[in-house]
């Protein structure tokens, strides 16, 4: 049995326009790194957190990574097993890129390897979801599942949880802009209306079905037309300064769809090549810069791998 491990887990885009709490995908960067060192006294400790500017809790019952580990250890046969946990935040907190999910996934993915893969992927997913829920205030898997499984995922049902892996078009690129503002997931979720008009629901359901079809058919033109949100974007757009200007800049530069990632403030756009993805990022960033807001741009193909062990 290995005693130490270091794991990277990727950021994710959730909702993907029309897929509120049901569709997400992983990107290559950014992501979080969690290092683990086994103990034999049953204790779980957070030894170090870096990159969080002192924001994240060191209480093991309030941190997403250690809550996930505690859930895992509840189900493990040897109660003498404990672990020291080091968390390196390599992605912004409250960015809408699944920061809490990435930490949770990296922690339990690494822990399972140290325990000689005692648990199944489904078990690991359940532990990670429980960890991530500490930050989001709700049980949802559209960040955790793609971070763990890679690629595009569809959550068909939550009780019991049923995850469907979706195909990834070969030439699909994603541009993400992260404006340097903070949006708390719990507050953003409260903005979502409990009911939507039947006309909006019809459009929304049609887009979800078309998005899945577009992925299977590798039809990026159709995919772009499905990135339309009748549920969360109308409520959350007001939290992101100049959102519609940023979106217009992306679409005018050749993006195939553009919308808010998760609760925001990050915004994603699809394209068919890296060169266009780069141009889209520059156009989006010009808007934020002009309005006095700093931002980061991330560009990658869809991450099909999920977490990985760092040597």
> 106 by DSSP, 3-state: which?
helix
Beta-carbon count within 10 A of 93 CB: 17
Rounded to the nearest 5 degrees, what angle is found at the Cα of 202, between the Cα atoms of 235 and 170? 80
Task: Answer yes or no: 132 catalytic.
Answer: yes
The secondary structure of the chain in percent helix, strand, coil, rounded to multiples of 5, reads 35, 30, 35
Q: What burial class does residue 225 get, using C-beta atoms within 10 Å of its C-beta: 0-12 exposed, 13-18 middle, 19+ buried?
A: middle
Q: Which of 132, 226, 233, 253 is catalytic?
A: 132
Please identify which of the residues 12, 66, 175, 185 carries the catalytic annotation. 185
Tokens representing 195 are 């009911």
Among positive and negative, which fits the CA dihedral 180, 184, 185, 190? negative
Cα 264-269-271 angle, rounded to 5 deg:
165
Token pair recorded at residue 63: 């941190």
How far is C-alpha 123 from the chain's CA centre?
Answer: 19
Give yes or no: 66 in active site: no
Closest CA to 55 of 85, 97, 93, 98: 93
Q: How many CA atoms lie within 13 A of 262 on its CB side?
A: 35
Do 152 and 89 contact (CB within 8 A), yes or no?
no
**Locate tokens 């991530």: which residue?**
132
Closest alpha carbon to 223 in 256, 181, 195, 200: 256
- Provide the pairing of β-strand 44-50 with 82-89: parallel
Hey, which residues does 26 pair with through a beta bridge? 12
Active site residues: 132, 185
């Amino acid at each position: 049995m290995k005693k130490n491990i270091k794991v990277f887990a990727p950021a994710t885009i959730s909702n993907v326009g029309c897929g509120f709490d049901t569709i997400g995908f992983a990107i290559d960067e950014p992501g979080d790194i969690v290092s683990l060192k086994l103990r034999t006294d049953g204790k779980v400790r957070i030894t170090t957190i870096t990159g969080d500017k002192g924001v994240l809790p060191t209480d093991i019952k309030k941190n997403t990574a250690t809550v996930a580990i505690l859930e895992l250890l509840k189900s493990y046969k040897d109660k003498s097993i404990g672990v020291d946990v080091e968390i390196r935040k390599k992605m912004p907190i409250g960015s809408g890129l699944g920061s809490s999910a990435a930490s949770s996934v990296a922690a339990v993915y690494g822990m399972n390897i140290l325990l000689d893969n005692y648990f199944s992927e489904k078990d690991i997913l359940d532990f990670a979801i429980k960890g991530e829920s500490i930050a989001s205030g709700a049980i949802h898997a559209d960040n955790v599942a793609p971070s763990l499984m890679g690629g595009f995922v569809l959550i068909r049902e939550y009780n019991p949880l049923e995850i469907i892996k979706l195909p990834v078009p070969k030439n699909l690129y994603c541009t993400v802009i992260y404006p340097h503002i903070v949006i708390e997931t719990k507050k953003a979720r409260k903005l979502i209306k409990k009911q939507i008009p039947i006309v909006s629901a019809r459009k929304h359901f049609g887009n979800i079905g078309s998005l899945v079809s577009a992925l299977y058919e590798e039809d990026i033109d159709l995919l772009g037309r499905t990135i339309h949100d009748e549920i969360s974007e109308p409520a959350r757009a007001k939290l992101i300064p100049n959102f519609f200007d940023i979106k217009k800049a992306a679409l005018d530069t050749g993006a195939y769809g553009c919308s808010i990632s998760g609760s925001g403030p990050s915004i994603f756009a699809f394209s068919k090549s890296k060169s266009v993805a780069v141009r889209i990022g520059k156009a989006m960033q010009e808007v934020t810069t002009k309005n006095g807001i700093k931002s980061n741009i991330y560009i990658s193909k869809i991450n099909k791998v999920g977490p990985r062990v760092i040597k």
